[in-house]
């Protein structure tokens, strides 16, 4: 079986975790601080705050942005459900907007139409690693006095107009889940250029504790902590951070290798008229966290049948990105939502295997099997090629 994805974890990461365990400091401590400093430097942000996962990163970003009951936050429905959930966690209302069919990212024109007096923020997702148009949304937020929060769960290593994703906005949230480009098993990171956000985020992730365990441990004077506000247990462990440090060292190489695989797919499929390939516009640099193909309505096989045929041949695939408004938790809570572009993309997109290292013969096998299936009726319909 060729999997849809798998993390690139080596003996270096295992040794780093082992060494950290032997220090006796296995919760949030010196390795977490080191990981934060190195991740901030990598992205070009002033600060980085490590947390337990990207969902908690989004939740804390909502809190420090002052978003709460009665507020609206515009976001894509076409995203993992955690995007909308983070808005609900603070009692606000997610307002779903359409995406652009060529990038799967929020459409700024449609977002602009959905801004009301209750709108407090835009939650911008860099879907499957392709950067969204950050400048367009910053301009929209500035014009309407809104907060901009970036959901960069899939975008570690991606870049927008020459700068790594993570340094453009006040709050940018990353994921280190195993499906992402680098992984710590699970985990997340928030980057920010605002010191006030940085200080409060550190409080909130550890029960609102005024002095963390590492500082008390390293001090040569007795220190007593205070819990200055209601916080959360959203800490990252030092074991995870030790793995993350090693992963970060390889991130640019991993992205380079992923882009080679995506380029091989693009080259092989570029002549097939019944599909639409990922589009990377000038100034946009994707880490290709996933490789998604859209099947046009002229395709000789429907998406679900294609997925089954590929699975029968030992190739795992995934459907198009979910639409949150179509999930039970939201369609009952928000009935009547209609997003034709997002729904069409979900129903007619397929993600192909992409991971590092991926054997050349496996890449060719995926290409051959996909091409055979998508051109199954080529002899009777020459217009498809």
Both 76 and 112 in a single domain?
yes
185 band by pLDDT with thresholds 50, 70 and 90: very high
Q: What is the CATH number of the domain that holds 356?
A: 3.90.1150.10
Q: What is the mean pLDDT of residues 352-359?
A: 97
Q: What is the mean pLDDT of residues 71-81?
A: 98
| CB contact set of 256 (below 8 Å; sequence gap of 6+) | none
384 band by pLDDT with thresholds 50, 70 and 90: very low
Flag whether 350 is in a domain: yes
Name the residue range of residue 109's domain.
11-248
Provide the token pair at 34. 């080191």
Q: Select from 248, 280, 309 the last residue of a domain.
A: 248
Give just the sign of the alpha carbon dihedral 174, 176, 179, 181. positive
Both 88 and 176 in a single domain?
yes
Active site residue 296: no
pLDDT of residue 383: 43
Which of 17, 66, 99 has its CA nearest to residue 340?
99
Both 188 and 93 in a single domain?
yes
Q: Select from 195, 218, 248 the last residue of a domain.
A: 248
For the chain, what is the mean pLDDT?
94
Q: At what angle do helices 303-312 and 360-374 cross, to 10 degrees?
A: 140
Both 90 and 103 in a single domain?
yes
Both 45 and 93 in a single domain?
yes
Q: What is the mean pLDDT of residues 329-352?
A: 95
| CB contact set of 383 (below 8 Å; sequence gap of 6+) | 273, 298
Which of 98, 92, 63 has its CA nearest to residue 79?
98
Flag whether 116 is in a domain: yes
pLDDT of residue 212: 73
Both 89 and 210 in a single domain?
yes
216 band by pLDDT with thresholds 50, 70 and 90: low
Q: What is the mean pLDDT of residues 202-231?
A: 79
Q: What is the mean pLDDT of residues 15-27?
A: 95
Both 271 and 238 in a single domain?
no
Both 299 and 235 in a single domain?
no
pLDDT of residue 378: 42
What is the residue whose two structure tokens read 């080596």? 10
Tens of pLDDT along 82-115? 999 999 999 999 999 999 999 999 999 999 999 9
Number of domains forming the structure of the chain? 2
Tens of pLDDT along 31-72? 999 999 999 999 999 999 999 999 999 999 999 999 999 999
Which of 97, 94, 108 has its CA nearest to residue 62?
94
Both 169 and 271 in a single domain?
no
Flag whether 171 is in a domain: yes
Q: Select from 190, 214, 248 the last residue of a domain.
A: 248
pLDDT of residue 170: 97
Of residues 273 and 222, which shows the higher confidence score? 273
Catalytic residue among 120, 164, 180, 202: 180
Paired residues of 350 in beta bridges: 293, 319
363 band by pLDDT with thresholds 50, 70 and 90: very high
Q: What is the CATH number of the domain that holds 197?
A: 3.40.640.10
pLDDT of residue 209: 85
379 band by pLDDT with thresholds 50, 70 and 90: very low
Look at residue 346 and tell me whether its pLDDT is greater than 90.
yes
């Amino acid at each position: 079986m060729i999997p849809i994805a798998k993390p690139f974890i080596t003996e270096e990461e295992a040794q780093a975790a082992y060494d950290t365990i032997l220090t006796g400091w296995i919760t949030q401590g010196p390795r977490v601080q080191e990981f934060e400093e190195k991740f901030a430097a990598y992205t070009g942000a002033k600060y980085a705050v490590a947390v337990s996962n990207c969902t908690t990163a989004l939740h804390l970003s909502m809190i420090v942005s002052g978003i709460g009951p009665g507020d609206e936050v515009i976001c894509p429905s076409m995203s993992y459900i955690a995007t909308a959930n983070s808005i609900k966690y603070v009692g606000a209302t997610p307002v779903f907007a359409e995406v652009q069919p060529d990038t799967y990212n929020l459409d700024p024109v449609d977002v602009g139409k959905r801004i009301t007096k209750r709108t407090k923020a835009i939650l911008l997702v860099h879907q499957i690693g392709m950067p969204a148009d950050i400048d367009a949304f910053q301009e929209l937020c500035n014009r309407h006095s809104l907060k901009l929060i970036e959901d960069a769960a899939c975008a570690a290593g991606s870049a927008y107009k020459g700068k790594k994703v993570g340094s453009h906005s006040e709050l940018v949230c990353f994921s280190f889940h195993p499906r992402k480009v680098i992984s710590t098993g699970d985990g997340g990171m928030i980057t920010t250029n605002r010191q006030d956000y940085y200080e409060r985020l550190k409080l909130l992730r550890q029960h609102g504790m005024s002095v963390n365990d590492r500082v008390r441990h390293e001090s040569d004077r007795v220190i007593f902590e205070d819990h200055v506000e209601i916080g959360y247990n959203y800490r990252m462990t030092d074991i995870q951070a030790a793995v993350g440090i090693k992963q970060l060292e390889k991130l640019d190489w991993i992205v380079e290798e992923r882009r080679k695989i995506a380029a091989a797919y693009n080259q092989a499929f570029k002549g097939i008229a019944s599909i639409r390939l990922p589009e990377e516009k000038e100034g946009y640099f994707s880490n290709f966290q996933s490789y998604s193909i859209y099947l046009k309505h002229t395709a000789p096989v429907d998406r679900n049948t294609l997925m089954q045929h590929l699975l029968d041949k030992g190739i795992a695939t995934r459907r198009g990105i979910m639409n949150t408004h179509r999930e039970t938790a939201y369609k009952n809570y928000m009935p009547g939502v209609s997003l034709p572009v997002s729904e069409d993309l979900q129903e007619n997109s397929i993600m192909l295997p992409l991971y590092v290292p991926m054997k050349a013969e496996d890449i060719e096998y995926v290409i051959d099997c996909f091409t055979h299936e998508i051109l199954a009726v080529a002899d009777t319909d020459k217009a498809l090629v």
